[in-house]
Amino acid sequence: MGKTPEQVTQEVWGHLKPAQLVYLATAEADQPRVRPVTLLDIDEKFWIATGTHTAKAQQMRKNPNVEFCLPLSGTAGNGYIRVAGVAGVVEDAETRKTIGAQVPFLKDFWSGFEDPDFCLIRITRVEIEYMRPGDQEAHTFIV
């Protein structure tokens, strides 16, 4: 790719927005489940807000290993950012309040961060795979 690992990392972060649609994969027993979700990137940490009793929340409680994929497109072609990580439900009231205040759709679904049906999930990155649009080879790095 001709760039240093630091330059590639900065390029990856340049594609991420504070809130954007990604495709999240969880597991239900031995069956993968993929669905679109809004990923929040706050201070280079990944968060998902969902209902406490949703299938994805239940699946992540049983098996916290997840992946999400952000498709990329450019004039040179298509690419992607794929992140493997570990999901954890956030119970800490201060974190729920701080991150909840940055969830653009919080009031559309919940009465606030204290709502028992508001489930905040943090995805801790383990591995990132990046395919620059138009490239034929992905760059993988452990974080």
pLDDT tens for each residue of 88-113 = 999 999 999 999 999 999 999 999 99
Taking only the tens of pLDDT, the chain with its 143 residues reads 467 778 888 888 999 999 999 999 999 999 999 999 999 999 889 999 999 999 999 999 999 999 999 999 988 899 999 999 999 999 999 999 999 999 999 999 999 999 999 999 999 999 999 999 999 899 888 87
The per-residue pLDDT for 1 is 45
Classify residue 116 by its DSSP letter. Answer: T
DSSP state of 2: -
The amino acid occupying position 9 is T
Percent of the chain with pLDDT over 90: 82
Does the pTM surpass 0.95? The reply is no
- The DSSP H or E segment spanning 65 is strand 65-74
Question: How far apart, in whole angstroms, are the C-alpha atoms of residue 14 and residue 19?
Answer: 13
Compute the mean pLDDT over every residue in the chain, rounded to the nearest whole number.
Answer: 93
Sketch out the chain's domains with CATH numbers: 5-142 (2.30.110.10)
Cβ atoms within 10 Å, residue 50: 20
The separation between the first and the last C-alpha atoms of the chain, rounded to the nearest angstrom, is: 19
